[in-house]
Amino acid sequence: MKRTDQIFIGLTLGLAALVWAAHGRIERARHPKAPNFKVLTDQGKTISPSQFGGKLLVLNFWASWCVPCIEETASLKAFETAFRSKGVVVLGISIDEDERTYAQFLKRVQVHYDTWRDPQAEGGIAARYGTFQIPETYIIDASGYVAEKIPAPVNFMDPDFLAIVQKLL
């Protein structure tokens, strides 16, 4: 192989490495690191975005008095059941202020995915995520980055939503 061919191949590989590295930085710039938190769920599990290592976190902000939140609960339950064994963790964070109403809702609807009540308007987890309306869902990838933010009700079993999740697994 000629010296000029070796230089050309070396430059091409170097340029490809630079493009690949820059692309990774651009992708991460579009997907911010998820604000960290640590909660002990009603089910007794400690959950934090920084602890997942290889799992996907679906973080859903809701309240028992929010009609769209109530409407999406059935599909979120079905989604969690279908994807639990595939490395997906669902955490529902309620902004309900009344603990009794919150607990009654969970019992009545028979929610089995992890839940936690965070009634703090300022300084709570919802505020750290910039959530100002509910329902709102974040998909946090295995590296702890927000891969998707969905500021509206979701049918969690909709093929479009499932395609997003499958792509991230």
> CA angle, corner 29, sides to 160 and 115, nearest 5?
55
How many Å apart are CA 27 and CA 34, to the nearest integer?
A: 14
Q: Which one, of 117, 128, 58, lies nearest residue 91 by Cα? A: 58
pTM for the predicted model, two decimal places: 0.79
Strands (E), the chain: 39-40, 46-47, 56-62, 88-94, 114-117, 136-140, 146-150
Reported as a single tens digit per residue, the pLDDT across 102-124 is 999 999 999 989 999 998 766 68
Residue 132, pLDDT score: 84
Reported as a single tens digit per residue, the pLDDT across 11-36 is 454 454 454 444 444 344 457 899 98
